[in-house]
Structure 1
Amino acid sequence: MRGTLLLLAALALASPAHAFAAERANVEFLNSGKPLPTNPPFSEAVRVGNTLYLSGQIGIDSGSMKLVEGGIKAEARQAMTNIKATLEAHGYAMTDIVKCTVMLADMSEWGSLNEVYKTFFPGRYPARSAFGTTGLALGARVEIECMAAK
């Protein structure tokens, strides 16, 4: 019986759930105040181990809640600039991004988004999903969220 209990205890320690629990102890909720004001009801990023999960960014001027003018390209450029600022504030770089999710208010603007997006990833692109939505915060044309890993 004792041998069985020891075996079960060893298996529990080796299980993915235990690995997640150990990793969960290293969760940090981060707000630098750079791209976003410091008071939104969410973290700009959450670090779990060496992985950084960024909240979605829209094309707002850094530190404000006002969208830049100029349409999809201007908003996409500002959203990507905000992502870069968030990464750098927490010790990461654009080259650390492994996955992005893009939400567009109008899927017909996908090509325009891509023109801007690819300038932030010269030669090496992260995995990406894109989909259309019926509405984004503040009437934005695009929202982009990313994951980075070291």
Structure 2
Amino acid sequence: MYKAVFTEKAPKALGPYSQAIRVGDFMFISGQTPINPQTNEIVESDIVLQTRQAMENIKAILEQEGLSLDHLVKTTIFLKDMNQFSIVNEEYGKYLGDHRPARSTVEVSRLPKDALIEIEAIATV
């Protein structure tokens, strides 16, 4: 069995999917774009601010289930511009401290709502 996870502290899904699904000892977090859940709009078109918002959204979903960013075991980062890789690394690293989940980063041609970044994650529970 699985459980759909939802929190008002993260943006509502943009389509027919859940913010996250908890199954067994894992939680699969859908890709989080930098949408501010209070305004339902993408934050300013700045990679630092957008990375922060995507990470805050992931953090809120984890906290809904009593978890933290330390529970992350894998993330995938989708970037509109790979030239911003080092900037994203720096901001992403601030959220994780010494914790280092496995990660992939890929450049994509376009993201929902023309975001600059989207991050999906897998956590252990």
Query: What is the TM-score when the length of structure 1 is the normalising length?
Result: 0.78
Quick check: which has more Rg, 1 or 2?
A: 1
Q: Does 1:121 align with 2:91?
A: no
Call closer, same or farther: CA 1:38–1:105 in 2, change over 3 Å. Answer: closer
2:102 counterpart of 1:144: no
Which protein has greater RCO, CA pairs closer than 8 Å, 6+ apart?
2
Structure whose residues are more often strand by fraction: 2
1:68-83 → structure 2 map (5 Å cutoff): 68-83=43-58
Q: CA deviation at 1:48?
A: 0.7
SS in 1 for 2:35: coil
- Which of 26, 51, 55 does residue 30 from structure 2 map onto? 55
Contact residue 37 and residue 63 of structure 1 kept, 8 A? no
**Which blocks of at least 5 consecutive residues in structure 1 are unaligned?**
1-25
CA distance in 2, matches of 1:38, 1:127: 25
Write 1 or 2 for the structure with the bigger share of helix: 1
Aligned to 2:59: 84
Query: In structure 2, what is the equivalent of residue 105 of structure 1?
Result: 80
Are residues 123 and 34 of structure 1, via their aligned partners in 2, closer, same or farther at CA, if it must alter by over 3 Å? same
Q: What is the distance in 1 between the residues matched to 2:47 and 2:38?
A: 20
Q: Percent identity?
A: 35
